[in-house]
A and B are shown apart, each in its own frame.
Chain A
Amino acid sequence: MARAVTTKRKSINTALAWAVGLLIFFPILWTVLTSFKTEAQAIADPPIFLGFDWTFENYSTVMERSNYMRFLWNSVIIAGGSTILGVIIAVPAAWSMAFVPSKRTKDILMWMLSTKMLPAVGVLYPIYLLFIRLGWLDSRVGLVIVLMLINLPIIVWMLYTYFKEIPGEILEAARMDGASLKEEILYVLTPMAVPGIASTLLLNVILAWNEAFWTLNLTAAKAAPLTAFIASYSSPEGLFYAKLSAASTMAIAPILILGWFSQKQLVRGLTFGAVK
């Protein structure tokens, strides 16, 4: 029997949820507010929360100094490309692991995950040398492939978990009706796993968008995405926090908007199979 939820308890839960939400969102809110301050107001002590003269000067300075659209376009291509390529490779891999497992499937899954445990800097030099040989330094193609490989274990794991929730009998029925392997994956499995695939796509776009080790170390002027755009406003000798905040706000805005509009899908996918 479900426990009755009183109005008082509901209010407390709502207040608590808002408090936690605001706490998590506060650093982003502070960054956005700082981006509208002058440099002197940005470092004021005690800090100024809202009582300052709002200025767009930092945004105009950033737009004047940097080619924001080029950084943005590179981010879109790199994050989108690596995620789509990753999903194309991961769907058949996850299908085989979920529906026709071998005795080594668990080991392979663990091995794939273990590649995430190595610090990235440990393989910087080999990958850098490989990129020189292949002519991929400062190219979007190179970054799409590297980020795809980095996120592939997560994509396979997520899809594997979602596919495991789908009864194998449905696929078996499709096979008995004469569906080929391609038709089985494309027309039977994929539509049933749409929430899972969508949340995998979204999560990996976010991961690739925010990836700041390879995108900084393998790019120079042409393929640099928004992570390099932010890094260019960090200064060891000089207080440019307001401009840095403006650059950060411009870098996170697209992904924040994407996350906002797709939050329903994201939550649905992440909780897929959580309640049976």
Chain B
Amino acid sequence: MKAFMRLGTMCLWLTATSPVCWALIAVALCSVWKWHLPQWVWLWMFVCAAVVGLVLSLFVEAGGGLYDRLRFARSGRIVMGAAAAAITVFALSLWAISSALLRQLP
């Protein structure tokens, strides 16, 4: 559990600090506000943004090094689980905050 929490924190940190993820979220929010998209589409867009941000952080920005580490340590499964949990937490939190904020807008 400790390992899962720590790797989940790692994935959450990498997602939340990813500029690509925030750029995609900005695009998603603009689309949501402009075309009055249903709530499940928002959530889906946030999940996609988080997945893209995390994958880029882990496998592109880290220069293939993390892929090497995962293969060597054979810790791919636990990292995948932690990544899924981190993406869910991130997307749901963002969806809750953004839906509350966008409701205030005219």
Do A and B originate from a single complex?
no
Query: Which positions in A face B, CB cutoff 8 Å?
Result: none
